[in-house]
């Protein structure tokens, strides 16, 4: 990992309150693993502005241009404006300076080749699943994305998943796009069809809890990508801990989301109560 002092290449609102930021990041793509994250801040903010954690959406390279611009490697984040930090980020323009720390954390394990791969994304939780889908497709796997949101505005980047070869199933709570209902309803059906599937999920805590219960009942493996409030992103502040399996008040077992995660085997976490306290993550698209 590295601290990039770099610039914004583009920053667009792609759906109400959802933004997509492309950041110049030479040498980043080769290092980033599916499910890892970055800590971003702008240099224009107040000096104390803590970085915000964001899952890596995708990496790429802009071609060289005839006016002499060389090829430019970039990475992208998708984020939702949920508080002051993300509001400030959403107001950045091309050429504005940002600092990017990453890639950080431990990402997805690609699982056993040949088993059906079910990716479950809730709202902004689809972010870390894109590179996972790409990596699985590259390995010749059959990948399905079950994408849920409250309304159609919360369904993002589905066409990009499709273009990369992922079969997508959309559901919304209000039926404004795709199937009417929760994403877990679709998952239940898919697990019935593919009893040997491996599941990868990211989304709000209630969704993850439901997915974890369902996968446990079907006895299929589940990896989840969590989000948490973070100050440092490198395991120093201990602000982002989650409860590991076997946690109790007398025998506590905390894991750092930034170091041990953000991707965990669901079996390693204590799903007894909400694993992550508070779902109003400060970072929007964050881990």
Partner 1 sequence: MSSHKEKTMPVVRPSLAVEVAGLKLKNPVMPASGTFGYGEEYAPYFDLNRLGALVTKGLSLNPKAGNPTPRIAETTSGMLNAIGLQNVGIDAFVTAKVPVYRGLQTPVIANFFGNTLEEYGEVAKKLNDVPEVNAVELNISCPNVKQGGIVFGTDPSAAAQVVALVRKALSKPLIVKLTPNVTDITVIARAVEEAGADAISCINTITGMAIDVKTRQPKIANRTGGLSGPAIRPVAVRMVHQVVQAVKIPVIGIGGIMCAADALEFLIVGAKAVQVGTANFIDPQAMLTIIDGIEAFLVDEGLTDINQVIGSLKL
For residues 73 and 25, the answer to whether their CB atoms sit within 8 Å is yes
Which CB atom, from 33 or from 221, has the smaller least distance to partner 1? 33
Which CB atom, from 170 or from 271, has the smaller least distance to partner 1? 271
Which CB atom, from 36 or from 171, has the smaller least distance to partner 1? 36
Q: What sign results for the dihedral spanned by CA atoms 214, 216, 220, 224? A: positive
Which CB atom, from 10 or from 248, has the smaller least distance to partner 1? 248
Q: Is 88 in the site for partner 1 (CB under 8 A)?
A: no
Q: Is 3 in the site for partner 1 (CB under 8 A)?
A: yes
Binding mask 34-53 for partner 1 (x = CB under 8 A): -------x----xxxxxx--
For residue 138, which of 103, 157, 110 has the smallest C-alpha distance?
110
Which CB atom, from 182 or from 274, has the smaller least distance to partner 1? 274
Distance of CA 82 to the CA centre of its chain: 16
> Binding to partner 1 (CB under 8 A): which residues in 221-260?
228-232, 234-242, 252-254
Distance of CA 30 to the CA centre of its chain: 18
Q: At closest approach, how far in Å is the CB of 252 from partner 1?
A: 3
CA triplet 64, 65, 66: central angle to 5 degrees?
Answer: 130
- The three-class DSSP label of residue 184 is helix
Residues paired with residue 254 on neighbouring β-strands, in sequence order: 243
For residue 262, which of 156, 135, 128 has the smallest C-alpha distance?
128
Q: At closest approach, how far in Å is the CB of 236 from partner 1?
A: 4
- Sites of contact with partner 1 (CB under 8 A): 1, 3, 41, 46-51, 84-85, 99, 101, 228-232, 234-242, 252-254, 276-278, 280, 282
């Amino acid at each position: 990992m590295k601290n990039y002092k770099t610039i914004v290449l583009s920053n667009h609102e792609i759906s109400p309150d959802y933004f997509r930021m492309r950041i110049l990041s030479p040498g980043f793509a080769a290092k980033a693993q599916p499910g890892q994250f970055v800590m971003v801040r702008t240099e224009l903010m107040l000096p104390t502005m803590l970085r915000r954690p964001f899952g890596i959406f995708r990496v790429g390279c802009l071609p060289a241009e005839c006016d002499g611009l060389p090829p430019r490697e970039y990475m992208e984040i998708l984020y939702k404006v949920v508080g002051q930090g993300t509001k400030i980020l959403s107001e950045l323009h091309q050429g504005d300076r940002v600092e990017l720390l990453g890639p950080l954390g431990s990402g997805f394990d690609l699982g056993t080749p040949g088993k059906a791969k079910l990716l479950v994304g809730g709202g902004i939780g689809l972010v870390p699943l894109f590179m996972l889908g790409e990596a699985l497709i590259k390995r010749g796997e059959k990948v399905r994305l079950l994408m849920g949101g409250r309304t159609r505005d919360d369904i993002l980047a589905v066409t990009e998943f499709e273009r990369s070869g992922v079969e997508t199933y959309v559901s919304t709570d209000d039926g404004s796009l795709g199937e009417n209902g929760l994403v877990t309803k679709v998952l239940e059906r898919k697990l019935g069809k593919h009893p040997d599937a491996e599941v990868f999920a990211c989304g709000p805590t209630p969704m993850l809890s439901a997915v974890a219960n369902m996968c446990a009942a079907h006895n299929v493996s589940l990896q989840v990508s969590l989000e948490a409030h973070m100050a440092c992103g490198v395991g120093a502040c201990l602000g982002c801990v989650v409860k590991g399996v076997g946690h109790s008040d007398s025998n506590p077992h905390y894991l750092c989301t930034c170091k041990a995660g953000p991707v965990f085997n669901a079996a390693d976490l204590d799903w007894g109560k909400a694993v992550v306290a508070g779902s109003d993550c400060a970072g929007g698209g964050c881990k």
